[in-house]
Amino acid sequence: MSSKDMPIIPEIVEAPGFSWDRLVERSRDRFEDFRQNRLALVGIIIVCCVIVVAILAPLIQVYDPLQQDIAHRLQWPSWEHFLGTDHLGRDVWSRIVHGSRVALLVGIIAVGIGVILGTPIGAISGYYRGKVDEVIMRFMDAVLAFPPILMALVVVTILGPSLFNTMLAIGVDYIPRFARVIRGSVLSEREKEYVEAGRMVGEANFSILFRQILPNSLSPLIVQSTVFIAYAMLTEAALSFLGLGIQPPNPSWGSMLNEAKLFIESDPYLAIIPGLAISITVLGFNLFGDGLRDILDPRLAKR
């Protein structure tokens, strides 16, 4: 048999797979740019500060956040209460630091629900396409048609106001959002050579999708997660402000704003302090997300 008659054997292209070493190497390549991005540095500093405050809340509180002292109610910031006291004499600083725990917990758990449930839905939709994709995405679009706060209000109203139900309500709203993020990444990855190579050697679709494609589609998911944590904090604050989130007397930045509305003219610090806590924390996560995008987005990598 001549060389011209020999069958052409296609070159097997192995899936790149997910490698922490490659991720660390890419991060090192981009770290200098990240360090020069002052806004991203500000973001990561804010995020780290909020995390530290939440972890050390029992140690850095000055007073019990639930302790009432009517004799010292509505005191402006002083050496004794350096963020003042509220209308029941409770220390504002202690309530702020414990409120950071609620904000972080809601953000992380809600995003976790969205990622765990939305990722496989989006991955299956993007990989199989066709009627499967059409049915799944139309259902996801129907859920997305509801504004996030409205969806959360419906869920909390049905299940009742509580911290767990607040996290569940926000997480349910995030499922289609993460599903669409993963679907877009999978649609791009499924056309690459290593996927075709896997099919040629008889590898099962489940294995190709969840062992090869999905690990290589996580970068945008990580970036979006940091942004959605910030949005979850805002939603929790809104629900607590409306009385549908964490219930008094437990401290929450949103509930503190709700209690402060009656004293906005005489004691504006009661609204300014939790408002600043929400704004600065959300800004920090958004800036941190921008920095992560610069590190993890392969289109921005130098090599």
List the chain domain ranges.
Answer: 76-297
Query: Residue 104: pLDDT band by 50, 70, 90 thresholds?
Result: very high
State how far the Cα of 121 lies from the Cα of 175, in Å rounded to an integer.
9
Q: What is the pLDDT of residue 15?
A: 45
Lowest mean pLDDT among 100-114, 121-135, 200-214: 200-214
Considering the chain, what percentage of its residues have pLDDT values greater than 90?
Answer: 23
Query: Residue 145: pLDDT band by 50, 70, 90 thresholds?
Result: confident
Report whether 104 contacts 52 (CB < 8 A).
no
**Mean predicted confidence (pLDDT) in 251-274:** 90
State how far the Cα of 16 lies from the Cα of 61, in Å rounded to an integer.
49
DSSP 66: T
Query: Residue 178: pLDDT band by 50, 70, 90 thresholds?
Result: very high
Q: Is 85 helix (H, G, I), strand (E, B) or coil?
A: strand
Considering the chain, what percentage of its residues have pLDDT values greater than 70?
Answer: 85
**Mean predicted confidence (pLDDT) in 3-32:** 52
**Mean predicted confidence (pLDDT) in 276-303:** 76
State how far the Cα of 288 lies from the Cα of 42, in Å rounded to an integer.
8
Q: What is the pLDDT of residue 204?
A: 77
Record the pTM: 0.81
Peptide bond into 215 cis (omega under 30): no
Identify the architecture of domain 76-297 in CATH.
Answer: Orthogonal Bundle (1.10)
Count CB neighbours of 58 within 10 A: 11
**Mean predicted confidence (pLDDT) in 137-164:** 84
Report whether 274 contacts 257 (CB < 8 A).
yes
pLDDT, mean over the chain: 82
Lowest mean pLDDT among 135-139, 174-178, 293-297: 293-297
Q: Is the pLDDT of residue 31 over 70?
A: no
Q: Is the pLDDT of residue 281 over 60?
A: yes
Report the run of H or E that residue 64 belongs to, with start and end.
Answer: none
State how far the Cα of 178 lies from the Cα of 224, in Å rounded to an integer.
8
Q: Can you say whether residue 43 is alpha, beta or left, with left for phi > 0 and alpha for psi between -120 and 50 degrees?
A: alpha
Nearest to 236 by CA among 282, 270, 273: 282
Q: Is the pLDDT of residue 10 over 70?
A: no
**33-49 pLDDT per residue, tens:** 666 777 788 888 999 99
Q: Is the pLDDT of residue 278 over 90?
A: yes
Place of tokens 């758990």: 109
First to last CA, the chain: 44
CA dihedral 186, 187, 188, 194 (to 10 degrees): 70
Report whether 285 contacts 43 (CB < 8 A).
yes
